[in-house]
Amino acid sequence: MLAVGGAAALAIGMVGITQMALAATVFTANFEDGTTNAWSKSGGTWTVVTDGSKAVQQSKGTTDNARLFAGDTGWTTYTVQARVKPLSLGSGGFAGLLARAKSSTSFYRLALMPGNLVQLQAVNSGAVTVLASKSQTVATGTWYTLALTVNGTSISGSVNGASIGSGSSSVSSTGRIGLQTAFSTANFDDVTVDSSATTPPPTSPTPTPTRTTAPPTSPPPTGNPPSTTWPTKTGDASVSGTVSVTGTFDGGLKRYCCMGDGSQSESQDPMFDLADGATIKNVIIGSPAGDGVHCEGRCTIQNVWWEDVGEDAATFLATNGDSYVIGGGAMNADDKVFQHNGSGTVHISGFYAKSIGKLYRGCGNCTKSYERHVTVDNVILDSAKYVVGINTNWGDTATLTRITLINGSNTHICAEYTGVAKGSEPPYNGDGMGDGHCNFSTSDITYK
């Protein structure tokens, strides 16, 4: 049946794109072996179930970002197809198919949405641009065949063989495939990838895409390695108490100092307290700095440098959504640089740290337990004991790419713990890799 399906996909492609030169099925997954061993998990609860035949199910409807990834990061021109059955579609949620996933938050998506809507989207570091949209029946408990084609900058999608539309985007030129839900549950089955040697067809001009989700102040760095040179301060600013930030606070690379006693006490006040949606950027934080930066909700920390981390450089307290650390650096953290006490996802990119305990730790004994996620990309760590620490019993995940370790032969990459109640100490269970919680491979780590 796979051979027939591949031939059908090729025939459709030759009708729709006359410049198709070659197609070959390079990946299939029908989950009949009862496992998801070929996939890496990021969020959610994924299990193989019986739904006529075997299928993979994401069953946690409260999860804001559940993903399974598979395939090759070098795939370029291809069509990914899958059968998708939404079981529940929460407000603001979806069940979808991904192509060219270059990270856990940047890819192309074809999404079945509440309100009888299907959208073709480009997602760049979590920011969504709608390339095409179509009203059609989307019913829970019904199977739909989704197909997503990526060919140069041309992106197109179809549902049950009917076109949703197409658009042009340069968000990602290569990447893996994926299955995804948000605030929804769904079954997925019969995934195929047909690769093509294709010359992109001419496309008609498309309207300016509509952005439906605001991006961070600046996109995370994805090119050159982060700077290991400490910035020169432009001046000094005296801090005698917590600075509350709403909107955007630009420090102009002044050095802000000082408060607290430089200890590991968690009772210290933060130097900066960020409201939901706030951004702090271009700040050098001197020592002592109290409890660093607190994010009361979603936040962006951009080009912020900590001279000497006391208790934590930053603590993330949001109970949903995404927060971003973009660029910057930190030195001399006896324990953690970034502490994640809330839920949602923390994205760390383009960051440099030296002489630290852990770059990131999902709280293992806070008053409230959450499922937490972290993505770390394009960072340099010098003399770090750990890259990240997560709690597997609560469904935490860490997705790591382009990690450079200096003096890191003994560095733990992804430490796995069992989260416990407040007042107890979470036990360390060893380091993970490629197990659905710690999502990375040896090629993602460079030692210098």
Of the candidates 282, 273, 329, which has an alpha carbon nearest to the alpha carbon of residue 305?
A: 329
Residue tagged 């796995």 (tokens):
416
pLDDT of residue 446: 96
pLDDT per residue over 160-208, tens digit each?
999 999 999 999 999 999 999 999 999 999 999 998 633 333 333 333 3
Position 16 pLDDT exceeds 90? no
What is the Cα 280 distance to its own chain's centre?
Answer: 21
Per cent of the chain over pLDDT 70 is: 87
Rounded Cα gap, residues 21 and 211, in angstroms: 34
| H/E stretch holding 332 | strand 329-340
pLDDT of residue 261: 58
Number of H helices, E strands in the chain: 1, 32
The mean pLDDT value for 302-314 works out to: 91
Structural domains for the chain: 2-211 (2.60.120.560), 236-447 (2.160.20.10)
Rounded Cα gap, residues 201 and 26, in angstroms: 22
pLDDT of residue 195: 84
Of the candidates 190, 122, 115, 125, which has an alpha carbon nearest to the alpha carbon of residue 157?
A: 122
pLDDT of residue 26: 86
Position 267 pLDDT exceeds 60? no
- How confident is the prediction for the chain on average, in pLDDT? 86
